[in-house]
Structure formats: C-alpha cells, structure tokens
Chain A
Amino acid sequence: MTDASANNSASGKSSLLVQDARTRKRNAVEARFKWYGITAIAIGCVFLILLVTAITFNGSRAFRQTFVTVPVTLDAAAIEAAEASMMKTSQYRKMIEAALLTEVAEANIETDMDAGKLGDMLSSSAPAQMREFVLANPNRIGDTVSFDFLTSSRVDGYLKGRVTRDSLANDKNLDAAHLDLVDQMRDIGMVVKRFNIDFIIGSDASEERPEQAGMGVSILGSLFMMFVVLLLSLPIGVAASIYLEEFAPKSRWTDLIEVNISNLAAVPSIVFGILGVAVFIQIGHLPKSAPLVGGLVLTLMTLPTIIISTRAALKAVPPSIREAALGVGASKMQSVFHHVLPLAMPGILTGTIIGLAQALGETAPLLLIGMVGFIATNYPTGPIDGFLSPNSAMPAQIYEWAKRADPAYYERAWGGIIILLVFLLAMNVIAVILRRRFERRW
C-alpha cells in the first residue's frame, strides 16, 4: 500500500534519471560503510608503519658495534707469567692496557690517564678474547698482533648518541675525558663502528658486558625447539584431524573432544608452561631448561591450532571427490590419502606454519620451565646436547635483555626483535611458497 501510494503521488510515473529518496539513502549508507572500511585499514596501516619504523630505528643500532684496534706484542715471558697466575685474565688485561697506552701515545694523542684508567674504555671481554687467541695460536707468541677489541658499552653508546658527557657525570665506569680521547681516536680510525656478526651468532653475556651479548645460542635453542614441535605436532595433529573428520563416528564423545580441542586453542600459554613443569619436569624427570621440554610444551600449545586448521582444510575438500573415490571402489583410507589429503595439503601446511610461528614467538611457558635468557651462554656441543642441555629461546632472550637495567641491553632487545621477525617472515614466505606449489595441482 505504502509503496503504491508513494509511486503514485509523483504524477504516476518515476524517472530513472532521478534518484528517489530510498536509493539516495541506500547509496549514502553504502558510501559511508566504504569509508569506515578505508578508515579501519588506514588505522591499521599507521600502526604497522609505526611499529616497523620503531623496530628498525631502535633495533638496527644493535647490529653495529664499536671496536678499537690495538696492536699487542705477545711477549712470551709475560704470557707465561699470566698463565701461571691465579687471575689469568687480569694479567692479560694489563698487557692490553699497556699496549693501548703506547698506541695512544704513538698517535700523538695527549692524555694524563694511566694505563688502568685508559683501559676502562675497553670491554671487559677484551682479555678473554686475547687469551683465547693466544691459546689457539701458540706459534704467534713473540709477534705483534693487531686486535679488534670491543669498546665498553659506554663508548659504544657515545658513538650511537645514547651516552653524553652530561650522562657520564654520575657514572663511575667512564669519564668525560675518555670521550675526548674517543673523539680523537675515531678521527684517526683507531676506533670504528662497524657491523658486528657476534650479535647474531654470539651468546648471551653478563649484565656488565652488553657489548658482547648475542642471540646465537638462543637462536639455536629456538631451532631445536621448533624441530621438536614440527616433528611431534604435525603428525599428531594431522592424524588426529583426519580421524576426527573422516573416520570418527558422530557421537557424544567425539563432540566432547571437539569442544575441548577448540577450547584448548584459547587456553593462555602460561597454563601450558605450568603443565610442562608439572608433567615433564616433576613427573617425567626431564632436564630443566632443555629445548626438548620447551618443544614438548609448545607442541601441546600448537596442536589445537594445527588440528583446527587441518580439519577446516579437510572440510573444504568437496564431498564429490570422496564419493568419486568410493564409487570406483577405493577404501575409506585410500580415498582420504589419495584424494582428500593432497587437496587439503595447502591448508594443512599454512595452519602448521602459523602454529609454528606462534610457538616461535611464545615466551611465557618457556620462562616457567626455566628457559630464561641468561642461561643461553654456551653453544650446544652436538645435536643431543642441543635438545637436552639448558638453553633459552629467542623471545625469552629478548625479554631477558629488555628487563636488564643497562640501556645498551634495551637496544639489543630491539635488535633481537628484528632477528625474531626475520625468522617469522621467513616462515611465512615458506608457507606461501609451499601453498603455491601444492595448489598448482589443480
């Protein structure tokens, strides 16, 4: 009735060239909705850009480190004395400090500091570095060897703009006078800031030596863990999904299992951590802080993700394919493995890699089972040691650095995030490539 009267009121016929009120309103709603969408995406993009910029800006500095080049004469008598003493590295330190003082003097840089004071600008890792070289190359004793020592994090921070003369006023580790020296040494190329591979392949260091800390050992920890996760969660997850989706009779039990799997996916990861401590460490007596245990805990966490995505992928395979296979006399198993599974493969792989990526970035459960950052100081000696000896993982290492007081560690935490993101990005790229590859089979 209302429609008819509305149409009739306008002299009977409406023109297509004029939009009526209803159409205008509808179009306006549509245009508004489009703008909401664009705004939402724009906000998302702004946050993404902010995030990426902040990470690159803060993190990229961690990849460059300041080194000072010091030629040290490896005096046989001094080295013998040092090796015979109780505090071996402190003897080496004296040799380095003396060499540094000579070098500064030779470069015509005036200073009234003594050797010990001057040595404060070096990293406390320098003596160990020299001693390792000597032990590895005993034939070089007697020569003069040019070492690239790390400078202390204060000097490094000065060249990166983090440390200023004002901020050193209350700092007992370094004086403003050191910075004047550093300026001159940098001008003649004795002090340089360059790419530091040890940040990527090195191990964690103590709180006093941020300049020496690296991600290498915890990267290995993460890799060993991911190996465990992949090896366990992919077969278990895929087998469970195939059974639930294709074979299990629909009963109250399978419903219960389904609901529980979906709920497990939403359980906070720290709960899995507690479970790991209780089951794997206290009851199972597996070693604490071991990547094997970490991998087991993360497997529990990843399984629901993999099962849910695998089931979705299996569900998406058209039933006509199953019927076709059964119609030519294939068994249930043959129809699943010959026809359904290959078609579901891209979805399964994507789900698995998303699950793995989630596991790679997981921190909380690892902290509970003892895979804290500061134990990532020793490289595993072999594959078995890699699974069983205490180690950390990338996110736990980043967390450890972020909570240390020294701003130099804060910078390294940002750098660690870049490394973690590179790994995640690589995994996503692999996911895309694998998906493309399997999808090409029509």
Chain B
Amino acid sequence: MKDIKFSARNVQVYYGTTHAIKDVNVDIADKTVTAFIGPSGCGKSTFLRSLNRMNDTIDICRVEGDILLDGEDIYDKRVDPVQLRAKVGMVFQKPNPFPKSIYDNIAYGPRIHGLAKNKTDLDEIVESSLKRAALWNEVKDRLDAPGTGLSGGQQQRLCIARAVATQPEVLLMDEPCSALDPIATAQVEELIDELRSNFSVVIVTHSMQQAARVSQKTAFFHLGNLVEYGETGQIFTNPVDPRTESYISGRIG
C-alpha cells in the first residue's frame, strides 16, 4: 500500500444553495493515478478543484469538511492557497498556454516561485520539463515561438510541462484530453503513466476507456455522491454498487 497523499473527510461543497458535493470521503494515494469518473454535473470537477482551492475564485462557492494534504488541512486559515497550488499543480480541460513564448510558458512558474538561481538553472528546468512532457524534441528549436502557435495536443503537453516545472507533489488534471484527437490523447496518456513515478496524479475523465487505461484507482461520482472507490480493475469488472454497474455499462450518464 502506498502512502496517502490526500485525505478527504466529510467534504461538502456548496454553490450558493446548491449542494454540489455531498459527504465525500476519499484517500488518494501517492505515486498513483486516480481517475474520477461519472456523468456530467456529478461533481467530479468540483471536487477536483477543491483539492487545490481553485474554487476559492468563485465567490459563491463554499467548502466544508476536511481535506488533508500530507496530514495538513488545506482549508486551514493559515494556509495560503498560492503556496498550496505550487504543491498541487493543475492542468485544465482546454489547453490554455500563456500568450508568451514556449520558454516563458514553462519558466513562469519556476520564476515566481524562485526555483531557479540563475539562467542556466532555468534553462535546465525548462528542458527537463519539456522532456518529461514528451515535447522537447518537437519544440527545442523554437523555444522563442509563441506557445499559442502549437497544435492542440502540443499545447496540452505544454500545459502539462508548465505544471510539472513548478515541481508539484500532486498533479490535478481536469479532462485533459477532451479537446484532443486520438493520437494526441495517446501521447498524453503515455505521459500520465510516466508522471506516476514522481507524482500523485488525479484525473477527471469522461472516457471510461481512458480511466481504465491510465488509472490504478477509480472513483465513481453520481449526483454529488462518491458512489464507489476502489482499484480500477475491480470497479470496471466487478462493481459493488448497482449505479456504478449501470454507468459503466452505459445505462445511466
């Protein structure tokens, strides 16, 4: 059994009066890919975004319960969300590179967190991040070119490289492949599998095949409830809850 990275206890999330996440308890293991699956609007993205407090930017959003990262409550008053987000990186549904050069896209995080002492350090971080995101060979000759000029799949890998560059401990991915074609998706999935050796990866996905391919643990959400959580193989072959069974066999969702 691997160490537990995130531990959520009785988590409730409200948007105004809407109760979006109901009483979720989950332990997310380190150096593991955990997939959140479930029909649209079931709260899986909401829960993902509460793991690095991205929900703070939404005025009407309220989180109750405890979410512990390495045993520390991330919603404690003393926690600065900025510091938290440096530890818990995020990749979004739509590739969103900064309208800057490829180099600056990667270097931005290390710069603001002071991870590089000098230009050589920074160059190294940029190179290793791009290599990790399997993008180095495609862009090494045009690091000064705008990041927005890359193809969709390249842009998403650039965003992953950008997230990796800040040396986070956890990487949250919100449907990272929904805007990509099958080839780019395959590349990103391969990448996720590699990232597992260094990070805990949490991925929200609509594609059950993807969840089955990349994850070791799967959580099924339905109407704001965490219905079932367990080993991916077990969830897909032998689900305990009838709702999980209905969803993965295509009867609900």
Interface residues of A (CB under 8 A from B): 249-250, 318, 320-331, 334, 338-339, 343, 441-442
List the interface of chain B (C-beta within 8 A of A). 52, 54, 57, 59, 82-83, 85-86, 89-92, 94, 96-100, 108-109, 112-113, 146, 148-149, 159, 162-163, 165-166
**Closest A residue, CB atoms, query B162:** A328
Instruction: Indicate which residue in A249, A329, A343 contacts B85 across the interface (CB closer than 8 Å).
Output: A329
Residues of A within 8 A of B99 (CB): 321, 343, 441-442
Q: A329-B82, A329-B113, A329-B166 are in contact. Are A324 and B98 (CB under 8 A)?
A: yes
Contacts of B54 in A (CB 8 A): 323, 326-327
* Contact A330-B97, Cβ < 8 Å, known A323-B54, A324-B92, A442-B148: no
A321–B98 contact, CB under 8 A?
Answer: yes
In the complex the two chains form, is A329's CB within 8 Å of B96's CB? no
Other than the known A328-B165, A330-B112, A442-B146, what 14 A-B pairs have Cβ atoms closer than 8 Å?
A320-B92, A322-B57, A323-B90, A324-B96, A325-B98, A326-B57, A326-B85, A328-B86, A328-B89, A328-B112, A329-B86, A329-B89, A343-B99, A441-B99
> Which chain A residues lie closer than 8 Å to B109 at the CB level?
328-330
Distance of A320 Cα from B166 Cα, bound (Å):
19
- Inter-chain contacts of A343 with B (CB < 8 A): 99
Task: Tell me, in angstroms, the Cα distance from A322 to B99 when the chains sit together.
Answer: 12
Q: How far is the CB of B239 from chain A (nearest CB, A)?
A: 32
CA distance A318 to B95 in the complex (A): 12
B96 touches A320 (CB 8 A): yes
Closest 3 CB pairs of A and B: A329-B86, A320-B96, A327-B90
Known: A324-B92, A442-B146. A329 touches B112 (CB 8 A): yes
A–B complex contacts, Cβ < 8 Å, 12 sampled: A322-B57, A326-B57, A327-B85, A327-B89, A328-B85, A328-B89, A328-B166, A331-B82, A441-B100, A442-B99, A442-B146, A442-B148
Q: Which residues of A contact B57 (CB under 8 A)?
A: 322-323, 326
B28 vs chain A, min Cβ distance (A): 18
Contacts of B86 in A (CB 8 A): 328-329
Instruction: List residues of chain A with CB within 8 A of the CB of B165.
Output: 328
Q: Which residues of A contact B98 (CB under 8 A)?
A: 321, 324-325, 339
How far, in angstroms, from A262 to B146 measured CA to CA in the complex?
A: 37
Query: In the complex, A321 Cα to B95 Cα: how many Å?
Result: 10
A214 to B142, CA, bound (A): 58
| Cβ distance B107 to chain A, nearest Cβ, rounded Å | 11
Instruction: Kindly name the residue among B89, B108, B162 whose own CB sees the greatest number of chain A CB atoms within 10 A.
Output: B108
Measured in the bound complex, the distance between the Cα atoms of B122 and A283 in whole Å is: 57
Q: How far is the CA of A310 from the CA of B232 in the complex (A)?
A: 50
Which A residues are CB-close (under 8 A) to B89?
327-329
Residue of B nearest to A251 (CB): B59
Complex: how many Å from CA A54 to CA B244? 79
- CA–CA, A329 and B53, complex, Å: 11
Q: How many Å lie between the Cα of A326 and that of B54 in the bound state?
A: 8
Q: With A and B bound together, what is the CA distance between A249 and B59 in angstroms?
A: 7
Determine the chain B residues whose CB is within 8 A of the CB of A320 once the complex forms. Answer: 92, 94, 96
The interface residues of chain A lying within 8 Å CB-to-CB of B92 are: 320, 323-324, 327
B162: chain A residues within 8 A (beta carbon) = 324, 328
List A contacts of B146 (CB < 8 A): 442
Contacts of A331 in B (CB 8 A): 82
Provide the residues of chain B in CB contact with A321, threshold 8 Å.
Answer: 96, 98-99
Residues in B with CB closer than 8 Å to A325 are: 98, 108
Interface centre among A318, A325, A330, A339 (most CB of B within 10 A): A330
- Separation of A250 and B60 alpha carbons in the complex (Å): 9
A118 to chain B, nearest CB (A): 74
From the candidates B59, B83, B159, B166, name the one contacting A324 in the complex (CB within 8 A).
B159
Question: Which B residue sits closest to A339, measured CB to CB?
Answer: B98
**CA A78 to CA B90, docked complex, whole Å:** 92
